[in-house]
Amino acid sequence: MTRYENERFGQERALYMTRSALIKNCRFEGEEDGESALKESKYLTAEYCFFDLRYPFWHVEGLHLRDSEMTKNCRAALWYDKDVAIERCKLHGIKAVRECINVSLRDCDIDSPEFGWHSKHITLSGGKMTSEYAFLGSDGVHLDGVEFHGKYSFQYAKGVRLKNCVLNTKDAFWHTKGARAEDCVINGEYLGWYSEGLTLVRCHIKGTQPLCYCKNLTLIDCTMEGCDLAFEYSDVHATVKSTVDSVKNTRSGRITAQGFGEVIEGNSVYPVRCKLVTKK
């Protein structure tokens, strides 16, 4: 295995097409402003490194990155990669992950707009994340114990699985297929519109006009706060362990809740056939 330690790399494609290397305590920076430092490389371990240049890991296969930092200048850091494990890293450049397969991130600090687009099998465990339009169009996104901030998350994604997360978001889960969240706090308006097969289990949902235009929507033992004008034109089966502020023209299904502040029916495009059941 080739070893690079305590070195600085600033030139274009500095370590292009590297194979089986350990890169330790190195800095990718400098006035040369070179990009694509490790493009087309395989089987890399990088630890305690600093990345301040663009596109360091494109078309990389077999990367283990830990205890490293990517600055805001490290744009589009990981594109078209396969089999990537990232631990305890800062990823602060825009568009950090795109069109990748099999990426795991553990206890990372992510601040990256447009993170995780069009990728397959991304797993995040612990840590915190700030991103707008995160995971757009991705398939197989799993988050466990993540604190998330950012609008327009998980749109057009498939196979999303969330556990024990706190989401501070807006317009989340639009057009998702088969998404499931368990034991999560979801703060944000216009949740889940146009989704198919969205399932929320023991979640706390907060925000105006949630869960409209949904197909095959399921809520199991959830609580709702500040959720007015909910479920418009949705097909829903829900058990809610709180009062719902208001429901509007719910298309079909059954909603059981502790109460309904207001039921709005009329002036509807579709027949309103949902059964509302009050159960203390």
Helix H or strand E encompassing 84 = strand 82-87
Give 248-270 pLDDT, tens digit per residue. Answer: 999 999 999 999 999 999 999 99
What would you report as the CA-atom Rg of the chain, rounded to the nearest whole angstrom?
22
Distance CA 66, CA 24 (A): 10
> In the predicted model, is pLDDT for residue 1 greater than 90?
no
Give 182-238 pLDDT, tens digit per residue. Answer: 999 999 999 999 999 999 999 999 999 999 999 999 999 999 999 999 999 999 999
Query: Looking at residue 248, what is its pLDDT?
Result: 98
Query: Looking at residue 148, what is its pLDDT?
Result: 99
Q: State how far the alpha carbon of 88 is from the alpha carbons of 112, 141, 166, in Å.
A: 16, 19, 19
Q: Which pTM was predicted?
A: 0.95
Give 85-143 pLDDT, tens digit per residue. Answer: 999 999 999 999 999 999 999 999 999 999 999 999 999 999 999 999 999 999 999 99
The amino acid that residue 87 corresponds to is E
Are the C-beta atoms of 265 and 257 separated by less than 8 Å? Answer: no
Distance CA 73, CA 193 (A): 35
Give 159-174 pLDDT, tens digit per residue. Answer: 999 999 999 999 999 9
- Number of DSSP helices (H) and strands (E) in the chain, helices first: 0, 33
> In the predicted model, is pLDDT for residue 280 greater than 80?
no
Query: Looking at residue 159, what is its pLDDT?
Result: 97
